[in-house]
């Protein structure tokens, strides 16, 4: 929720503008960053458990639950038996991009940056978002589905089972190394506590309508308006 007591944009640790040409990679969180919703909460609504799941999500994003993997497993267990049709409905009817998301990604790509989507959410949604925004790499969690319904579990992938904060950081650094970029040439954009590890590793950390703990540690905090406000500090 937007905090009306905060200025639309806060900056710490540097004097703008930064040179966009000095950056080569941007890593984005998805839920409540690139898109307006927390997908897991909307899936839970189909099971009549949105309030219960959303409370865990909110606590995890505020940093009150330190073990993201445990918080995700607890929420996943509540989704057991939800039909795949519910996911399709969320994608079709609920998923919307945050203001400025398309514009920011297009501008970064036009400047030659590679884009990474790192999410504690699900490939069912990240694949769509990545395709829409022209994102180069994606790392997220794979829902386990049997007979058309969620089992409440996740599928083990080559890199692991759950994309938590540390995995987001590893993915940012791995993609940077792949293109020969240093961490200082990377930016990381997120809103929750599990984004802090990658934000701490990047040369520029950006909080978007984020939890207080995240705003306090980010170099740029966008507290109102669109993601494309970041372009006002990048030239």
- The catalytic residues are 29, 31
Residue 149, phi then psi, degrees to nearest 5: -135, 155
Q: What token pair was written down for 153? A: 């579990």
> What's CA 110's distance to the chain center, in Å?
21
Spatial separation of the C-alpha atoms in residues 221 and 214, rounded to whole Å: 9
Spatial separation of the C-alpha atoms in residues 111 and 20, rounded to whole Å: 7
Radius of gyration of the chain (CA): 17
| CB-based contacts of 210, cutoff 8 Å, min separation 6 | 190, 191, 192, 195, 218, 221
Q: Which of 25, 21, 208 is nearest to 115 (CA)?
A: 25
- β-sheet bridge partners, residue 198: none
Spatial separation of the C-alpha atoms in residues 62 and 210, rounded to whole Å: 9
Q: What token pair was written down for 35? A: 């898109």
Q: What token pair was written down for 45? A: 């609504």
DSSP element (H, E) containing 47:
none
């Amino acid at each position: 929720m937007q905090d009306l007591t905060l200025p639309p944009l806060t900056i710490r640790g540097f004097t703008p503008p930064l040179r966009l040409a000095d950056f080569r990679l941007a890593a984005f969180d998805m839920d409540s960053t690139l898109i307006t919703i927390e997908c897991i909460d909307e899936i839970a609504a189909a099971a009549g458990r949105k309030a219960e799941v959303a409370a865990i999500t909110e606590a995890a994003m505020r940093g009150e639950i330190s073990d993201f993997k445990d918080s995700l497993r607890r929420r996943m267990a509540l989704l057991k038996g939800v039909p795949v049709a519910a996911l399709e409905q969320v994608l079709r009817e609920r998923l919307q991009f945050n203001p400025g998301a398309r514009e920011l990604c297009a501008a970064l790509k036009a400047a030659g940056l590679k884009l990474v989507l790192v999410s504690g959410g699900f490939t069912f949604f990240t694949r769509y978002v990545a395709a829409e925004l022209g994102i180069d790499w994606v790392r997220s969690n794979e829902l386990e589905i049997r007979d058309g319904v969620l089992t409440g579990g996740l599928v083990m992938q080559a890199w692991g089972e759950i994309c938590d904060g540390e995995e987001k950081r590893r993915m940012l650094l791995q993609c940077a190394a792949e293109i020969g970029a240093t961490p200082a040439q990377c930016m990381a954009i997120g809103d929750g506590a599990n984004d802090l590890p990658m934000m701490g590793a990047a040369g520029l950390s950006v909080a978007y309508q984020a939890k207080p703990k995240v705003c306090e540690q980010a170099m740029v905090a966008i507290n109102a308006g669109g993601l494309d406000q970041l372009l006002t500090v990048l030239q």
